[in-house]
Amino acid sequence: MSVGRKPQIRVHIRWMIRRDMPEVLEIERRSFEFPWSEEDFIRCLRQRNCIGMVAEHDEQVVGFMIYELHKSRLHILNFCVADDARRRGAGTQMVDKLINKLSSQRRTRITLEVRETNLSAQLFFRECGFRAVSVLHSYYEDTPEDAYLMQFRYRPESGENVLPMNRITRLAG
């Protein structure tokens, strides 16, 4: 291990439950200048297409993600790793969990917005295979700053059986 490099950790990723909320809120509060409130989390998670997951290490929540299920994509609404777990593999394992939900038959991409000032998030998602596809001018209500719309596109593995997609295939599901 090189000097200054943090040891990697293995996390268990599971559904977010009500009991996780104090730890999630603390990670959120310590990580963002404009953190979500508990009401923001609850309002979002009550939507049918919204899913919350946490990453646990040694029985402690070290990260979380909130995402929406859409017909052809997953959309990350909130993604965060606790400061002491950053650059130790927890975030990458969470992204990998989402990537494993993609397929050529259903959802083929993951999207998210990243603040123009959040360089660490931009670099992290880029390392995970995301690309900035557009700039969303004055995107946020709390500041006049722009956001980058970042996207990960599913690429079938060699040998994977990819069925041709036509109108009937799409309608069938």
Q: Is residue 160 part of a domain?
A: no
Tens of pLDDT, residue by residue, the chain (173 residues): 455 678 999 999 999 999 999 999 999 999 999 999 999 999 999 999 999 999 999 999 999 999 999 999 999 999 999 999 999 999 999 999 999 999 988 999 999 999 999 999 999 999 999 999 999 999 998 889 999 999 999 988 765 555 555 555 545 44
Q: Note the pTM of the prediction, 2 decimals.
A: 0.86
Residue 3 lies in a domain: no
**What is the number of domains present in the chain?**
1
CATH of the domain at 55: 3.40.630.30
Question: Residue 139: inside a domain, yes or no?
Answer: yes
Query: Structural domain of residue 40, as residue ranges?
Result: 12-155
- Residue 6 falls inside a structural domain: no
| 110: number of Cβ within 10 Å | 24
Residue 1 domain-assigned (yes or no): no
22 assigned to some structural domain: yes
